[in-house]
């Protein structure tokens, strides 16, 4: 799956890493789709938190986040119009709500937000605690893009998909994209419940976790894009090339809950 971003509006940059656990994992099973090494060959890292959003206020903190706006498919033929109005902060969670309503010629609305120009980082640990909708046509994601996207464009900037989920299945996808290649692995989980989705990233590896269970290790030593700072993106898409265009309208409004996002730097 190639999740090509479409930046109709220039935004500002940021990246994050998060680590913590409030709820137990459920029924995690490795379902790798390509040959990969899930052995963590790096020394046990020690992390110190350098950035976070705990979503404990009453609205999205715009000193940390930039809202993207518009429709037009976003490079994936998505069906939603992104706007700030669909993001709220409630009970210590960011809530992104996808609605079945017409705005800007699109039949759905949602939110896509990022940290470009606000925060970006190379290497460390980035995590978020999320629960998401499970229904035909939904596509929630927690991901990162190279902070140089506006000068080198995609895919040269690189992309790290920490968590993506589509439709009504139980699969969580972790992927990398860069100029000349991509990887994609998956693990079975319970997306409608809270889980911690994370990557740990150093000069040679990017490791993917659900609830601190390692399910994929990718060697990135030869990919220049993954040696530079990345910023963070959260969004809830409706439809598109990957989930398809069968939308269960009876389930709307659909909600994605983000308890926190945390970014750590390795100190050893």
The structural domains of the chain, ordered by start, are 29-266 (2.60.120.200)
112-114 and 124-131 beta bridge pairing: unpaired
195-201 and 205-210 beta bridge pairing: antiparallel
pLDDT tens profile 146-201? 999 999 999 999 999 999 999 999 999 999 999 999 999 999 999 999 999 999 99
Query: Which residues have CB under 8 Å from 57's CB, separation 6+?
Result: 89
Instruction: Return the minimum-mean-pLDDT range out of 24-28, 223-227, 258-262.
Output: 24-28
Exposed / middle / buried, residue 222 (Cβ in 10 Å: 0-12, 13-18, 19+): exposed
Average pLDDT, the chain: 88
Within 10 Å of residue 111's Cβ, how many Cβ atoms?
26
Q: What's the average model confidence in pLDDT over 67-93?
A: 98
Is the link from the previous residue into 44 a cis peptide, with omega within 30 of 0? no
Q: What is the pLDDT of residue 19?
A: 33
108-110 and 80-82 beta bridge pairing: parallel
pLDDT tens profile 123-160? 999 999 999 999 999 999 999 999 999 999 999 999 99
Q: What is the pLDDT of residue 42?
A: 53
Q: Closest Cα partner for 216 from 186, 243, 189, 241?
A: 186
| 250 SS3 class | helix
Q: Closest Cα partner for 176 from 188, 167, 185?
A: 185
Q: Say which DSSP state 62 is in.
A: T
107 touches 79 (CB < 8 A): yes
Phi and psi (nearest 5°) for 103?
-140, 130
Q: Closest Cα partner for 224 from 176, 125, 147, 158?
A: 158
Q: What is the pLDDT of residue 43?
A: 73
Q: What's the average model confidence in pLDDT over 69-97?
A: 98
164 labelled catalytic: yes
Rounded-to-integer distance, Cα 96 and Cα 262, Å: 18
Question: Which member of 68, 127, 164, 200 is catalytic?
Answer: 164
Q: Closest Cα partner for 125 from 102, 98, 138, 144?
A: 144
The four Cα atoms 139, 143, 147, 151 give a dihedral, to 10 degrees, of -30
Question: Which member of 68, 80, 127, 159 is catalytic?
Answer: 159
Rounded-to-integer distance, Cα 188 and Cα 192, Å: 12
Share of the chain above pLDDT 70, in %: 84
């Amino acid at each position: 799956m190639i999740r090509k971003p479409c930046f109709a509006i220039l935004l500002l940059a940021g990246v994050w890493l998060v680590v913590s656990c409030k709820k137990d994992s459920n029924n995690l099973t490795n379902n790798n789709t390509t040959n990969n090494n899930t052995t963590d060959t790096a020394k046990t890292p020690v992390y110190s938190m350098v950035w976070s959003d705990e979503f404990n206020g009453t609205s999205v903190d715009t000193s940390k986040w930039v809202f993207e706006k518009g429709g037009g498919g976003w490079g994936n033929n998505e069906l939603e119009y992104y706007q700030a109005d669909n993001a709220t902060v409630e009970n210590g969670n960011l809530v992104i709500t996808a609605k079945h309503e017409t705005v800007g010629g699109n039949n759905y609305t949602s939110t896509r937000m990022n940290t470009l120009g606000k925060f970006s980082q190379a290497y460390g640990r980035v995590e978020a605690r999320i629960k998401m909708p499970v229904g035909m046509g939904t596509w929630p994601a927690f991901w990162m893009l190279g902070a140089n996207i506006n000068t080198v464009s995609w895919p040269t900037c690189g992309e790290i998909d920490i968590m993506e989920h589509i439709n009504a299945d139980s699969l969580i996808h972790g992927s990398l994209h860069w100029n000349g290649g991509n990887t994609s692995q998956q693990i079975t989980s319970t997306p409608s419940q809270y889980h911690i989705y994370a990557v740990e990233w150093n000069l040679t590896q990017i490791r993917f976790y659900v609830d601190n269970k390692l399910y994929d290790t990718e060697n990135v030593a030869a990919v220049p894009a993954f040696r530079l700072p990345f910023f963070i993106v959260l969004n809830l898409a409706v439809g598109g090339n990957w989930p398809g265009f069968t939308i269960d309208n009876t389930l709307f409004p659909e909600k994605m809950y983000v308890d926190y996002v945390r970014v750590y730097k390795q100190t050893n």
